[in-house]
Structure 1
Amino acid sequence: MKIRILYDNKPTYLEVPDEDCTVMIDADYEDRLSSAEDKETVTRRSVQEIIDERFNKPEYNNWHKFDRHRGMPKKPFRKDDEAEDEIDHMDYFPDNSDEEAREKQAEYEYICEIIRKNLKEKQAELLIAIVMDGISVTEYARREGVTVGAISHRMETAMKNFKKVFPKSSTFPSSQG
């Protein structure tokens, strides 16, 4: 016999031997019979009815309780004589771009602080400008008034010193320590 069980509002079908089903039907019947006031109204139920009452209905109710507000947001109230509005509903969803920008800026400042604390000032500024800010070596050399070779050499020295302080890379974001 196939039994349908719901989980996360999706059905799963189980194949159960008929002998096990009769045991379940008899146990359910005896349990309801002992607690019923009018014993003549109690009838045997199918296995699917028992599963629906004991498992599927509470599972659905729990799912529905938490997920009922997901999906299309409610439209604003309009009267029958008003024309249907043609809005795209984007104002119903929060805009987290400011928060994300603040988090990225905080992360950037935290990493810059670590670099400045552990390296010499010129090496720290060089690493921050080239690695973090994405300035090209040529542009940085022009800004400093030195050759590209000199900046490349300084970059190698700065990276070597940085690797002495931080020998392994971390997989955790800086906000987690």
Structure 2
Amino acid sequence: MKIKLRYENKLMTLEVADEDFTLMIEADYEDRLSSAEDKETVTRRSPQEIMDERFNKPEYNNWHKFDRHRGMPKKPFRKDDQEVDETDHMDYFPDYSDEMAREKKEEYEHICEIIHNALKKKQAELLIAIVLDGVSVTEYAEREGVSVSAISHRLDTPESVTKFPLKGKQIA
């Protein structure tokens, strides 16, 4: 006898000997007979009916309940004169760019606050501009109106080197 089993939206067929189902059919018949009000209407069911009630339907429905919306989302509302779906489907994905930018800004401000609390004002601004903002030493020197060697000297002072690592230098 062939029995059909549903599993993850697939239908499998198994070949099982008829004798293997006699115990299951009798047990099912006795259970339904004991709980039925009208005992004359209860009949023996086929093995497939028993399998569908006990295993296939509940399991399939439970799986389907949670997984039916996976995959391609429903198409968005279109205008009547629009025949082809012209969307790029990017509207379906959440946009977290604002949240990420806000968190990045908060982290940047927190690091700047730590640097300002630890160093003198000129050294703090120098470190923030060069390390965090990515301004080159030459560009910063031109902006401040000093030589490149003066900026390099400020970066090499013991106070800034020991408190913060700079491009390959380690905290002492």
TM-score grouping bracket, smaller chain normalisation: 0.5 to 0.7
Q: How does 1:1-177 map to 2 (within 5 A)?
A: 5-6=7-8, 25=24, 29=28, 31-32=31-32, 34-36=34-36, 38-40=41-43, 42-45=45-48, 49=52, 50-64=54-68, 67=69, 71-78=73-80, 82=81, 84=83, 87-88=86-87, 92-93=91-92, 96-156=96-156, 157=158, 158-162=160-164
8 Å CA contact 1:5–1:56 kept in 2: the answer is yes
Tell me by how many angstroms 1:40 deviates. 0.6
**Normalised TM-score (structure 2):** 0.60
Larger RCO (alpha carbons 8 Å, 6+ apart): 1
Tell me by how many angstroms 1:99 deviates. 3.9
Structure 1 range deviating more: 41-50 or 100-109: 41-50
Q: Please state which structure has a larger fraction of its residues in helix.
A: 1
CA distance in 2, matches of 1:131, 1:24: 78
In the alignment of these two chains, the number of paired residues is: 153
8 Å CA contact 1:123–1:154 kept in 2: the answer is yes
8 Å CA contact 1:141–1:148 kept in 2: the answer is yes
CA distance in 2, matches of 1:150, 1:27: 97
Tell me by how many angstroms 1:58 deviates. 1.3
Structure 2 counterpart SS, 1:135: coil
8 Å CA contact 2:155–2:161 kept in 1: the answer is yes
CA 1:83 to 1:138, structure 2 compared with 1: closer, same or farther past 3 Å?
closer
Bigger Cα Rg: 2
In structure 1, stretches of 5+ residues that fail to align are: 169-177
Structure 1 counterpart SS, 2:7: strand
Alpha-carbon displacement from aligned partner over 1:121-161 (angstroms, at most 9, x marks no partner): 22211111011111001111222333323322322442422
Kindly report the root-mean-square deviation, in angstroms, between the aligned alpha carbons of the 2 structures: 4.3
**Normalised TM-score (structure 1):** 0.59
8 Å CA contact 1:36–1:42 kept in 2: the answer is no
